[in-house]
Structure 1
């Protein structure tokens, strides 16, 4: 699976925005400690932008900027042979990854949050979709030279964006049960992914150590619907 396959499987911008808010809210309930969370959503990243993000705690991450212009997504898999820090890339973003990014998103190519101290974009996969587009786009990425590397997912997009391409409650519950090492209530997951207002019962079903009141700041940051 490559970024081309991922682009075909991603939903439209609004569905992606809503699902990302649901993922972030679920992680906020399951992990009161912000530093241990996998998925996050900042509804107030700037005056006109929101940010959906993921960090796996081991150097892998994605960020998706949602703005009036559309959505700009970057993935970084530190284990990928396409990493700028790997032997093959020689300190540069992999050829083709950032080619073709439209003017509406060009500012993100120099965004400090997405580049290293030398200005190199820390990215192994990049996708974008303008508001009027009917599909996601990618650059003409060169995968030549990776045949000798055992990577079914050479750019990390399949693995790190998996819960955006498979948006079922079952997929999240299975992943979260493994990641957080605790059973996860499927009905509660369905409730949150549907963006229904949280109730004390739903919160308790996911994590009895957290109350609805504890989540007030997270609800505001995520922009999750309140009753």
Structure 2
């Protein structure tokens, strides 16, 4: 069984995660060229003192990563998960998923979308955390969808990222250009042309 607890062990430091999420948004926007079809976006002015990275696959699965002075909160939603609030009459979040989010980060839950997976890291903490008392549905290898939702955050290799964008946009993507952007380097005209060659 793969859950948020496995994801927590694979996430990088918050600063590295932020750089990576910004790079995913840049790659998506450059390769695709049309914001309407971008899965990954980054919002530096999400709220007062807040930045947000978003993923929305257009099929009902999404995540939001919120960066604040108090720490970082990851909220994911797998619409097919048995833990979806929409599978209950009261549409409540699955017990234990957000119950232990620390007080400093709890205000970020006020406008949260439906949630099946939640992780957090307070400023000054040394590890990522998730609800310690979640009772996951039995007999399901992917109960909260976290391994799928956060795949590009736990496996951040250029090869994995390239494979993702090649699959989504159904065309080749040069690995060197992906490496360049993931390293946080400026997107030069040459990199833009490599990632989004002009139509013949």
TM-score, length basis structure 1: 0.83
Matches within 5 A, 1:38-187: 38-86=39-87, 91-111=91-111, 114-115=112-113, 122-139=114-131, 140-143=133-136, 145-147=137-139, 151-187=140-176
Once residues 44 and 209 of structure 1 are traced to their aligned partners in structure 2, the CA distance between those partners, rounded to angstroms, is 31
Whole-Å Cα distance in 2 between the matches of residues 133 and 209 of structure 1? 46
What SS is found at the alignment partner of 2:45?
coil
Q: CA offsets, 1:145-176, max 9 Å, x none?
A: 432xxx42210111010110011100000111
| Structure 1: 4+ residue segments shifted above 4 A | none
1:35 paired to 2:27: no
Take 2:158 and 2:100, find their aligned partners in 1: how far apart are those partners? 34
Give the deviation of 1:90 after TM superposition: 5.3
Query: Taking structure 2 as the reference length, what is the TM-score of the superposition?
Result: 0.94
What is the rounded CA distance, in whole Å, between the counterparts of 1:20 and 1:55 in structure 2? Answer: 13
Q: CA RMSD in A?
A: 1.4
Checking the alignment, whether the CA contact within 8 Å between 1:128 and 1:136 is kept in structure 2 is yes
**SS in structure 2 opposite 1:176?**
helix
Contact kept in structure 2, 1:83 and 1:124, CA below 8 Å: yes
CA contact (8 A) 1:81 1:146 kept: no
What is the Cα deviation at residue 209 of structure 1? Answer: 3.5
Aligned: 1:194 with 2:192? no
| Cα distance in 1 between the residues matched to 2:168 and 2:90 | 33
Distance between the aligned counterparts of 1:137 and 1:8, measured in 2? Answer: 9
Higher strand proportion: 2
Cα distance in 1 for partners of 2:142, 2:43 equals 28
- What is the CA-CA distance between 1:198 and the residue it aligns to? 1.1
Q: Which runs of 5+ in 1 are unaligned?
A: 116-121, 211-227
* Cα distance between partner residues in 1 of 2:198 and 2:177: 15
